[in-house]
Chains A and B, each alone.
Chain A
């Protein structure tokens, strides 16, 4: 059945991917095609693909409710009673909508509320009331209850709001009327916002994105979720909120163990929200993971934000000089072994992602998901769309978030569709060796930092020139929202 889905107007690239993932999570086994195939989407008449209004085909009202209530970006999911380009057209559409769909929600002993919402413009309370009174042709028999109505109805309107306001272009007025089925619980966001979290690091993941990542990973109670770059635990917090058992590792002992004092560390972040503590935190190197041989298919999802070397660089075991081949391996004297702090070397993004995919290929259950951010350099607004690949995985969603004019990060969602075989393991071993032997070359190749921070090539001859060369503000911001 088709539902009207209205999104919050942000993170445009993440919206459909989230609904698709959640539909897979909530569709039951008889609704097989919704689990295996992509959802069908349709745009309202004349609407731009970036419009907040979409129609989506979902198996049942229960699924639509579960999807929208769990989501972060669905403002509302509605059963559409009518739409039109004018109030006359809307009335005609609502009148011809079958009574058996309408009457159960208009019963005398029920309570209801009508909300008026607009996109791209503001209308006064008075106008809102007028519009509600204009709906008197619908035979509402119930009582009005503004605080906790049983049924919520929404009258939503988009109108020609002109250009250059950063919103997707609109051709014509469109009005929708529908019954609310569910919507995102955005109260989560102020609860989990970073500014009130006790323990933060420089790259702590924003709460909204962390929840989106957990949704992409199909996190559910009883699932085991692993983050190999756990840092301050900001991604696992979102996973724990949705009931998963969590496990995290980091190479930096200061981050995972010590934090900033007894009540300011990864554990205290979970305590702050009353969430169950991670099942395990450990200090380990993603380049040389300490998992026993034979251990495989144990995690249901791996969610992480690997270090890309822009705001934080990756580290791996082995000294800097050792990896460059300047010195031979340093032998730790026996009396200094106990408290020895091993030195680490830079860990290039290519190698880091290779290790991550290999680890995920081995450690994820079949159908398990790998969800992680991957940085891309933007050139003239054209994003180079080549993403890492692995024989075990199928890439099912890419969602871009623009970070600056130079680079953006893309959230990749991958599903494990093939077994991790001996051949794949052997290939990974060879690649691992190559990374070790050609440490410097790989480090050079994967250098994103200079692409992001190098001074621009444009000649800057005084302020006047800089002013004239400044491009006008883009008419439509698209993914910038």
Chain B
């Protein structure tokens, strides 16, 4: 699971009002290279919850992203590479996503998060 996916997902258990961002529990992180595409990053940037991305990248051990960011930073090649790395190349292979409100664990196995709810959660 890449951090782009993490940035899109929330816990949708019945009754949970703020299921975002999910806390990351790490068992195994791998880096997977993805082709660098500045246009894709520029398109994605306004849709990203920046704080959640920064915190998620910290929990994966990557501390290069600035806490606050202005859209003008997108002109910097260096920044784009860091953004690219955090968003697309850090990959949670084994672990879990944890609902911030209820503590429910959504397991991540072989890089695939299991977001399906139990019968009593729908």
Nearest-neighbor residue (CB-CB) of B37 within chain A: A222
**In the complex, which of the residues B4, B44, B111 contacts A281, with contact meaning CB atoms closer than 8 Å?**
B111
User: Are the CB atoms of A292 and B111 closer together than 8 Å?
Assistant: no
Residues in A with CB closer than 8 Å to B109 are 257
CA distance A284 to B122 in the complex (A): 13
Instruction: Say yes or no: is A329 at the interface (Cβ < 8 Å to chain B).
Output: yes
Q: Is the CB of A224 within 8 A of B35?
A: no
Which single member of B5, B12, B40, B105 contacts A289 (CB below 8 Å)? B12
Out of A257, A293, A332, name the residue touching B119 (CB < 8 Å): A332
Shortest distance between the CB of A341 and any CB in chain B (Å): 9
| Interface residues as binary, A241-266 with B (CB distance below 8 Å gives 1, 0 otherwise) | 00001010001010011100000000
| A282→B113 contact, CB < 8 A | yes
Q: Does A297 contact B (CB under 8 A)?
A: yes
Q: Say yes or no: is A277 at the interface (Cβ < 8 Å to chain B).
A: yes
A190 at the interface (CB under 8 A from B): no
| Bound Cα distance from A242 to B93, whole angstroms | 27
Instruction: Give chain A residues whose Cβ lies under 8 Å from the Cβ of B120.
Output: 329-332
Interface residues of B in 27-53 (CB under 8 A from A): 32, 34-35, 37, 39-40, 43-44, 47, 49
CB within 8 A of B116: which of A251, A280, A297?
A: A251
Which of B11, B105, B118 meets A342, CB within 8 Å?
Answer: B118
Does B8 contact A245, Cβ atoms closer than 8 Å? no
Q: Mark B95-122, 1 if CB is under 8 A from A, else 0.
A: 0000000000100011111111111101
A409 at interface, CB cutoff 8 A: no
Name the A residues within 8 Å of B110 (CB-CB): 257-258
Which of B8, B12, B116, B118 has the most chain A CB atoms inside 10 A of its CB?
A: B116
A317 interface residue (CB < 8 Å to B): yes
A318 at the interface (CB under 8 A from B): yes
A224 / chain B contacts, CB cutoff of 8 Å? 40, 44
* Cβ-defined contact, B34 with A276, below 8 A: yes
The complex places the Cα of A317 from the Cα of B39 at a distance, in Å, of 37
Interface: B1 (CB within 8 A) = yes
Known: A290-B11, A290-B12, A291-B10. A279 touches B88 (CB 8 A): yes
Q: Determine if A290 and B34 form an interchain contact, defined as CB atoms under 8 angstroms apart.
A: no
Contact between chains at B118 and A337 (CB < 8 Å): yes
| Known contacts A257-B109, A289-B12, A292-B10; A282 and B39 CB within 8 A of each other | no
Give the chain A neighbours of B115 by CB distance below 8 A: 282-285, 290
| A280-B2, A317-B122 known; A288 vs B117 contact (CB < 8 Å) | yes
**Which residues on A sit within 8 Å (CB–CB) of B43?**
222
- Which B50-75 residues have a C-beta within 8 angstroms of A? none
A441 at the interface (CB under 8 A from B): no
- Of all chain B residues, which has the CB nearest A265? B110
Chain A residue contacts of B11, Cβ below 8 A: 290
Contact code string A50-94 (vs B, CB < 8 Å = 1, else 0): 000000000000000000000000000000000000000000000
- State the CA gap A285–B109 with chains docked (Å): 17
Chain B minimum-CB-distance residue to A436? B122
The residue on B at minimum CB distance from A259 is: B110
In-complex Cβ contact of B112 among A281, A332, A342 (8 A): A281
**Smallest CB separation, B39 vs chain A (Å):** 5
Distance (whole angstroms) from the CB of B3 to the closest CB of chain A:
10
| Inter-subunit contact A318/B122 (CB<8 Å) | yes
Report which of A251, A282, A342 forms a contact with B5, defined as CB distance below 8 A.
Answer: A282
A354 to chain B, nearest CB (A): 17
Question: In the complex, what residues of A have CB within 8 A of residue B113's CB?
Answer: 282-283
> Please, which residues of chain B bring their CB within 8 A of the CB of A322?
119
Contacts of A289 in B (CB 8 A): 12
Q: Does A464 contact B (CB under 8 A)?
A: no
A342 to B114, CA, bound (A): 11
A295 within 8 A of B: yes
Point out the residue from A279, A296, A337 that lies within 8 Å of B4, measured CB to CB. A279
Nearest-Cβ distance from residue A256 to partner chain B, whole angstroms: 6
B47, A297: Cβ atoms closer than 8 Å:
yes
In the bound complex, how far is the Cα of B119 from the Cα of A88, in angstroms? 77
Instruction: Please pick, from A280, A284, A290, A340, the residue contacting B118 in the complex, using a CB distance under 8 A.
Output: A340
Find chain A residues with CB under 8 A from B118 CB: 332, 337, 340, 342
Determine if B112 and A293 form an interchain contact, defined as CB atoms under 8 angstroms apart. no
CA distance A221 to B38 in the complex (A): 11
A478 contacts the other chain (CB 8 A)? no
Residue pair A298, B47 in contact (C-beta under 8 Å) = yes
Q: Does the CB pair B19–A253 fall under 8 Å?
A: no
- The answer for the CA separation of A288 and B122 in the assembled complex, in Å, is 8
Asked if A145 is an interface residue, CB under 8 A from chain B, the answer is: no
Chain B residues near A295 (CB-CB < 8 A) = 8, 47
A292 to B114, CA, bound (A): 15
> Which 6 residue pairs are nearest across A and B when measured between Cβ atoms?
A292-B10, A280-B5, A290-B115, A292-B20, A222-B40, A284-B115
Residues of A within 8 A of B (CB): 221-222, 224, 245, 247, 251, 253, 256-258, 276-277, 279-285, 288-293, 295-298, 317-319, 322, 329-332, 337-338, 340, 342-343
Given A222-B39, A279-B4, A280-B2, 16 other A-B residues pairs in contact with their CB atoms under 8 A = A251-B116, A277-B32, A282-B1, A282-B115, A283-B116, A285-B115, A285-B116, A288-B122, A291-B9, A293-B20, A297-B47, A298-B8, A318-B122, A322-B119, A331-B120, A342-B117
A-B contact pairs, 14 of them (CB 8 A): A224-B40, A224-B44, A245-B40, A280-B2, A281-B112, A282-B112, A282-B114, A283-B112, A288-B117, A292-B21, A330-B119, A332-B118, A338-B105, A343-B119
